Each structure stands twice: as C-alpha cells, then as structure tokens.
Structure 1
Amino acid sequence: MATATNTYPTITIDLILDRLSTKDVLRGVLHSILFHRLFGTVKPQTFEVLDITMPGVEDMEMEQLVNEKVDAFWKGIESGSNKRGRITVTFSEKRPKKSWFQVYMGEEEVPWEQWIINAELRQPKSDRDRLAFHTEIATTLTNTVHMMLSHTSSERGRTAVPPITVAAGISPFPISISVSFGGVDVG
C-alpha cells in the first residue's frame, strides 16, 4: 500500500464504511497512525472497533484533534452528495528557511511522511449485507494495523524519521490532519 509519489513515504489506506461504523473506524485508524508515529512519552490506550483491537494515544490534545477531524469528515459526508472523502495525516520537520542569498528567513515545515485515508460511505441493504460488510471492514482494519506495523518497522519507515532534536511534548514533529472532499479541504 505504500507508494512513492514524493521523496517521502506516502501510505494509502482505502476504507469502505457504513453509517454505523464510520466514526469509530476513522477514530481507530487515526489513533493507530498517531500511536505508531508519536515519539514523545505516549500513554497508550486501545479502541475496540468491530471486534478488532486498535492501538491509540491517550492525550487530550491528540484526542481533540482526532475527534475534530472525524466530525469534519462526518459533516462533509452528511452535507454533500459526495460519499467519498479523504483524511490526510502529514508528519513534518522544521528546517531553517533561507532566501536566495542564503539569509536565514525563519523556519519551514518539510514533510517526511504522509498517510492518506480514502474513505467511501456505502449503505448495506439488509441485515445479512450489514453482517458481511462489517466482517469485510474488520478484515480491512486488521490488514491496516498489520500494514502500519510493517511500514513503521521497515527500513524505509525507520529512515523516513528525521533526527529528533527536541524532546519536549508528545511529538517532536509538527502534525497536520486535513479532511477533503473532491480535492476541497473542509474543517
């Protein structure tokens, strides 16, 4: 699932969700990404999503950020005719920014890894369809967590992480999470 469209790794997760599980699945996936990519002192927690245990981060700021982005995704799905959306998690490092004449011009955020969650909302027609659908989502979540573990422990996943020069806080790196529908950012 990892692709190299940039000089940094971009990991894509494709999800097909229903109304009942959308928020829980997205919350679980975002927390799992953060769990695997936060390098400060992380207090772990777990999420049970469709009988799959997913790792998470118990931190008020991270939980608020995740909830805001999941709510923005949900509002975008509910308000538009587009039932497909994207959540992008970008990890960056701060580097000195220089002008043409090598004059220090402050700092810029340079991405070192990006996770793209493509999510589509579909509605099962019957209870039997719903059961099969939830089984399929659970399998996708299991594969997603396995892929996260494989990537973050791989040589490419480890070498993507820049040197950690600041040890304060839960993350030494800036994190941005964006939600978009049809290429237009929301929330």
Structure 2
Amino acid sequence: MNCEVCQLKELELEHFEISEVLRCILHTILFHRALGLVRPKDIDLELFEITYVQCGDVELEKKIDEKIGQFIDRVEKHPSKKNQICLSFYEMKNKQATWFSNKVERLYWEQWFINLNVVQHSKAHSGKSHHSKFVVDPGESALDERSHRRAALEASLHEVLFQIIKFVNRKKDHIPPIPNLEGVSFPYEITVSSSSDSAFGMDMFKRMLQTGHPTMLS
C-alpha cells in the first residue's frame, strides 16, 4: 500500500506561540481529510491575522490539545532539540490468521510531519525577551525586532497552510474507501518526537516495511 508523506516547512517560533500554531496546522489537515460529517467552525488566531477551519468535533479538539500539551512538555525537557509532530492516517486490516490469533494491523496511507524550531532567548538580554506577549517598555529596537519576527512567522505559517491545501488537492488516489466507522475523520494518530530521536526513526522504518516506501513530497 502506498503511503504519501508530506514534510511541512519548518517554522521558527517561540514557546508562547506553539499552541496556536500547532492547533491551526493540525485542525487544517484534519478538516481537509474529514469524512463530511462536520460542522465547520471558523477560528481567528489571536497572535496572527489568520483564520482557519475546525471540524467542530469536541473529541477531536480534545485529542489535539492533549498532543499539543505533550509536545510542549517535550520542548521544555529538550530545549536544544528541534521537535516535530507526525499526524498519520491509517486503515485497519485483518492480518492473516495464525495458530494463536487473528491480528489486526494498521496500514498507514498518509503522514504529515510538522517541524518546529522553538527559539530560546537568553535571559541576559531580557530587554529583547519575547517569552511573554506583554513586554514592559522594551525599547524601539526590540519592538522592531519582535514585529519583524512575528511578520516572518505569519508569512511562513501562511506558506504551510497553502502547502497543506496544495497537497490535499493533488494527492487523492492513495485515499482508501471511507470506513464504516463513526466519527468525523479517517482513523488517525498523532505522535510527538524530537526530529533527531533514533527511536522515532526506527518507528518510521518499521512503518515503511508495513506500508511500502513512502512517497516524499515537500
């Protein structure tokens, strides 16, 4: 089975921007791969001039927020590493029965890698620190720097959203038949890792063996 893989453009951002950025990207992907049983809900970002659409499903929102929490925990434990989230879609297939069991396996048909580089600012340069949305009299140069960086991140996030839309419009042949399952989405999982983790690489290698070598798209 063919598994399409999309590596999204890496985003450089700060700790307080993680939640909004990840929520925007994950919900956008899931909305575009929804099964049609959705009540679209427009969401305006607080930090950027961007509006995206959610599926309007409480359980999906809860799962996404839970995974974002795991991602933030990992960033705090490994601040020097670049971190990523992988959103995978799969279908369940009955594996050939053995003497002992009738196994069901996951066949992955699409994977999205969200790559984030969370910048850590030195406490020595507290005048230019952006850990908080509110900076008390940071000075003109710090304000200019912050404004420039925020504009650059907003432009990059726009690029990522267009990358998602371009991918979902071009890549459709690999999508499996709609499953007889309740819910707004195909079966999916969200995994969190540092991009350099060997365990994560081995996990990907095992999935390739199960699903066939993925087609890489950027």
Alpha-carbon displacement from aligned partner over 1:60-106 (angstroms, at most 9, x marks no partner) = 111111101111111111222334211000000111211579x9823
The answer on 1:151 being equivalent to 2:167 is yes
**How far 1:146 sits from its partner (Å)?**
1.2
The answer on 1:139 being equivalent to 2:152 is no
Which protein is bigger by CA-based radius of gyration? 2
Where do 4+ consecutive residues of structure 1 move more than 4 Å? none
The answer on 1:10 being equivalent to 2:23 is no
SS in 2 for 1:137: helix
User: Given residue 33 of structure 1, which amino acid in structure 2 is its aligned partner?
Assistant: I
Q: Distance in 2 between matches of 1:77 and 1:83?
A: 8
2:178 maps to what in 1? 164
SS in 1 for 2:15: coil
**How far 1:41 sits from its partner (Å)?**
0.5
Structure with more of its chain in strand, by fraction:
1
Backbone CA RMSD of aligned residues:
2.3
Q: Distance in 2 between matches of 1:21 and 1:165?
A: 35
2:136 maps to what in 1? none
The answer on 1:178 being equivalent to 2:191 is yes
SS in 2 for 1:98: coil
1:23 maps to what in 2? 19
Q: Distance in 1 between matches of 2:148 and 2:120?
A: 12
Percent of aligned pairs with the same residue? 28
Q: Tell whether the 8 Å contact from 1:98 to 1:104 is kept in structure 2 after alignment.
A: no
Q: Distance in 1 between matches of 2:78 and 2:70?
A: 12
Structure with more of its chain in helix, by fraction:
2
Q: Distance in 1 between matches of 2:181 and 2:146?
A: 46
- Kindly report which structure 2 residues correspond to 1:25-44, keeping only aligned pairs within 5 A, or say none: 25-44=21-40
Q: TM-score, normalised by structure 2?
A: 0.73
Q: Distance in 1 between matches of 2:116 and 2:105?
A: 30
Count of residue pairs brought into register by the alignment: 176
2:50 maps to what in 1? 52
Q: TM-score, normalised by structure 1?
A: 0.84
- Which of 117, 121, 125 is equivalent to 2:118? 121
Alpha-carbon displacement from aligned partner over 1:18-62 (angstroms, at most 9, x marks no partner) = 123111111111111111112140121223231111222221111
Which segments of 5 or more consecutive residues in structure 2 lack a partner in the other structure?
122-127, 129-141, 201-218
Alpha-carbon displacement from aligned partner over 1:143-183 (angstroms, at most 9, x marks no partner) = 111111111111xx211210114153212x32100111232
SS in 1 for 2:80: coil
Which segments of 5 or more consecutive residues in structure 1 lack a partner in the other structure?
1-5
Alpha-carbon displacement from aligned partner over 1:95-154 (angstroms, at most 9, x marks no partner) = 1211579x9823211000000001111157432222111111111121111111111111
Where relative contact order (Cα < 8 A, 6+ residues apart) is larger, the structure is 2
Q: Tell whether the 8 Å contact from 2:97 to 2:103 is kept in structure 1 after alignment.
A: no
